[in-house]
């Protein structure tokens, strides 16, 4: 444990708490005041961190390929009741990309006989199938069991999800980075190409700031697919962490704590990524990622990471806190103030307007300007923020599960859309109605009052309520939007996908 890391972590929460004690109108409202102040504090941290990442990503350069020795590669695809046809396509793509440098294994934990039998047919194509008879540790457990049996026969371990297929040049471009003995793993970005719904497109845009800017400049961590590990380094830390459902992040912390490096190769070397097709699948995926990210904070605080790497991982942890319980508090705050007429916070409204509003506008402008190279504009931001706002409930639930030490199962993200998720949308509809009601109640009060401070305070809360309403409305639209009737979707080859800068799979 590094004392500097621990001090920074504690100050992130204690300083806003100290401010909140002075700003809350009553100790009963301290939790809400604290959540609002913490949200502003995290916003400042996120902005400064994004500036650092944007500057760092601008310095990123794709390095020339270096000569590399011939490695023995084990490429694994961990599956659990996945569509056999999707698995087959991926396995054949991996086998083709290997070009004789190793073997492809499907680590199949499927408990459905008809699926297992079809997976077994892959052995006719030169794909090896590995089964262990249990689901201990889920994906991480399957890979660790595989390493115990076959790890000594290979130098590198390449991990792929069932829907992430490498281009023929994948290993040619990735292996050269292992010429540096300190490099423990190399990561390529995951790409959503099979987009057929509004949720899928929104999920694509939500990934872009992370993949196009943040991962270029931060200490790269494994994304769970598209990662190539040096096996001896992976075994040195005990294999993949089976105690968390985001084994990729947790294992990366273990590796970086030992001083080893990782490399992010920002080239779209994977394709056929299937995004969550509907809201139910999306929320299932995000809930799993959030819970796993909350789980790693104890390891993070005990780790021996240098300060820069610690900040990178801590920023990821704060992201989930911000879009979960903090985002919920930020939406509730104007409702409490306007609809319930509870003045829970004591703050000079003029000072707030002078300081925070310009900061908020400037951060938004800088973010959009910083994302222009990724063809990310206002429309992309609308998709991104709208889908992100819809996950506040499941992320908050994941946070509470972590706080109260409740275990959660590992659920595979569904690849096919189900029925319209009316029940899942109910909290968002209620929140939207409350925000609209707050505005309708607040506007007449704003027009009638003659007290300058109260008038300005009412205006601030009305503006915040109005800020969230369009995103919630558009989020509901995204959930209902399917391309089948509205878009002409066409399939083109992986090479064409790779060469095009944006959405090449859509006409």
pLDDT digits (tens, 9 = 90+) for 49-91: 999 999 998 887 766 556 667 899 999 999 999 999 999 999 9
CA distance 493 to 155: 31
**H/E stretch holding 78:** strand 73-79
Position 209 pLDDT exceeds 50: yes
Closest CA to 318 of 32, 12, 53, 48: 12
Residue 33 maps to a domain:
yes
Express each pLDDT in 282-327 by its tens digit: 999 999 999 999 999 999 999 999 999 999 999 999 999 999 999 9
Position 494 pLDDT exceeds 50: no
Least reliable range by pLDDT among 7-16, 69-78, 101-110, 490-499 = 490-499
| Residue 185 contacts residue 156 (beta carbons within 8 Å) | no
| Residue 194 contacts residue 416 (beta carbons within 8 Å) | no
Mean pLDDT of 377-400: 95
Residue 152 maps to a domain:
yes
First to last CA, the chain: 52
Instruction: Indicate whether 78 and 43 sit together in one domain.
Output: no
Surface-to-core class of residue 349, CB atoms within 10 Å of its CB (0-12 exposed, 13-18 middle, 19+ buried)? middle
| Residue 141 contacts residue 113 (beta carbons within 8 Å) | no
The CATH number assigned to the domain holding 142 equals: 3.90.550.10
Q: What is the pLDDT of residue 495?
A: 38
The last residue of a domain, from among 226, 251, 277 = 277
Instruction: Indicate whether 40 and 148 sit together in one domain.
Output: no
Residue 498 maps to a domain:
no
Range of the domain at 428: 3-56+311-412+418-481
Instruction: Indicate whether 145 and 209 sit together in one domain.
Output: yes
Position 488 pLDDT exceeds 80: no
What distance lies between CA 404 and its chain's CA centroid? 23
Q: How many CA atoms lie within 13 A of 354 on its CB side?
A: 5
Tokens in use for 258?
Answer: 């030992």
Residue 445 maps to a domain:
yes
**H/E stretch holding 264:** strand 261-264
Instruction: Indicate whether 158 and 272 sit together in one domain.
Output: yes
Which residue has 């790693």 as its token pair? 296
| Residue 318 contacts residue 42 (beta carbons within 8 Å) | yes
Residue 17 maps to a domain:
yes
Position 503 pLDDT exceeds 60: no
Q: Which residues pair with 208 in a beta bridge?
A: none
Instruction: Indicate whether 28 and 84 sit together in one domain.
Output: no
Residue 286 maps to a domain:
no
Instruction: Indicate whether 11 and 104 sit together in one domain.
Output: no
% of residues, the chain, pLDDT over 70: 91
Instruction: Indicate whether 133 and 211 sit together in one domain.
Output: yes
Average model confidence (pLDDT) for the chain?
Answer: 90
Q: What are phi and psi of 270, to 5 degrees?
A: -115, 150
Please name the residues in contact with 6: beta carbons below 8 A apart, sequence gap of 6 or more.
301
Instruction: Indicate whether 189 and 328 sit together in one domain.
Output: no
Residue 486: which pLDDT band, with cuts at 50, 70 and 90? very low
Instruction: Indicate whether 271 and 376 sit together in one domain.
Output: no
Angle 470-318-52 (CA atoms, 0-180°, nearest 5)? Answer: 90
Q: Is the dihedral of CA 137, 142, 148, 151 positive or negative?
A: negative
Instruction: Indicate whether 143 and 230 sit together in one domain.
Output: yes
Q: What is the pLDDT of residue 414?
A: 62
Residue 390 maps to a domain:
yes
Beta strand 227-230 pairing with 183-187: antiparallel
Q: What is the pLDDT of residue 496?
A: 41
CA distance 240 to 347: 48
Residue 503 maps to a domain:
no
Domain count, the chain: 2
Instruction: Indicate whether 193 and 224 sit together in one domain.
Output: yes
Instruction: Indicate whether 82 and 48 sit together in one domain.
Output: no
């Amino acid at each position: 444990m590094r004392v500097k890391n621990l001090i920074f972590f504690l100050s992130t929460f204690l300083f806003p708490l100290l401010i909140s004690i002075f700003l809350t109108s009553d100790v009963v409202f301290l939790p809400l005041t604290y959540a609002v102040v913490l949200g502003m504090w995290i916003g400042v941290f996120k902005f400064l961190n994004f500036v650092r990442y944007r500057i760092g990503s601008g310095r990123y350069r794709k390095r020339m390929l270096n000569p590399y020795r011939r490695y023995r590669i084990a490429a694994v695809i961990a599956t659990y009741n996945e569509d056999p046809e999707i698995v087959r396509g991926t396995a054949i793509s991996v086998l083709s990309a290997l070009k004789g440098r190793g073997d492809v294994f499907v680590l199949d934990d499927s408990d459905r006989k008809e699926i297992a039998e079809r997976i077994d047919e892959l052995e006719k194509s030169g794909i090896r199938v590995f089964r262990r008879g249990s689901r201990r540790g889920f994906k991480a457990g399957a890979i660790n069991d595989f390493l115990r049996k076959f790890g000594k026969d290979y130098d590198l371990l390449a991990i792929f999800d069932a829907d992430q297929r490498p281009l023929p040049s994948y290993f040619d471009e990735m292996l050269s980075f292992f010429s540096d003995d300190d490099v423990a793993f190399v990561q390529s970005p995951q790409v959503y190409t099979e987009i057929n719904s509004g949720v899928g497109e929104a999920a694509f845009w939500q990934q872009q700031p992370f993949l196009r800017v943040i991962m270029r400049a931060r200490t790269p961590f494994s994304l769970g697919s598209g990662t190539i590990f040096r096996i001896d380094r992976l075994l040195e830390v005990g294999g993949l962490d089976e105690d968390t459902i985001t084994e990729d992040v947790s294992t990366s912390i273990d590796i970086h704590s030992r001083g080893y490096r990782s490399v992010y190769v920002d080239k779209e070397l994977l394709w056929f990524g299937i995004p969550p097709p509907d809201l139910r699948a999306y929320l299932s995926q995000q809930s799993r990622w959030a819970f796993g990210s909350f789980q790693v904070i104890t390891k993070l605080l005990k780790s021996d990471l240098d300060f820069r790497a610690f900040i990178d991982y801590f920023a990821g942890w704060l992201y989930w806190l911000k879009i979960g319980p903090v985002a919920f508090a930020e939406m509730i705050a104007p409702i409490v103030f306007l609809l319930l007429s509870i003045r829970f916070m004591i703050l000079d409204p003029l000072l707030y307007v002078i300081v925070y509003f310009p900061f908020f506008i400037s951060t938004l402008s800088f973010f959009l300007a910083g994302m222009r190279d990724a063809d990310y504009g206002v429309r992309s931001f609308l998709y991104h923020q709208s889908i992100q706002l819809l996950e506040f409930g499941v992320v908050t639930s994941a946070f509470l599960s972590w706080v109260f030490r409740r275990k959660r199962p590992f659920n595979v993200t569904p690849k096919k859309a189900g029925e319209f998720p009316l029940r899942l949308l109910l909290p968002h509809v209620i929140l939207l109605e409350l925000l609209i009601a707050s505005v309708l109640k607040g506007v007449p009060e704003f027009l009638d009052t003659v007290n300058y401070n109260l008038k300005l305070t009412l205006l601030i809360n009305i503006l915040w309520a109005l800020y969230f309403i369009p995103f919630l409305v558009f989020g509901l639209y995204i959930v209902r939007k399917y391309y089948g009737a509205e878009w002409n979707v066409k399939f083109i080859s992986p090479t064409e996908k790779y060469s095009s800068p944006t959405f090449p799979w859509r006409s």
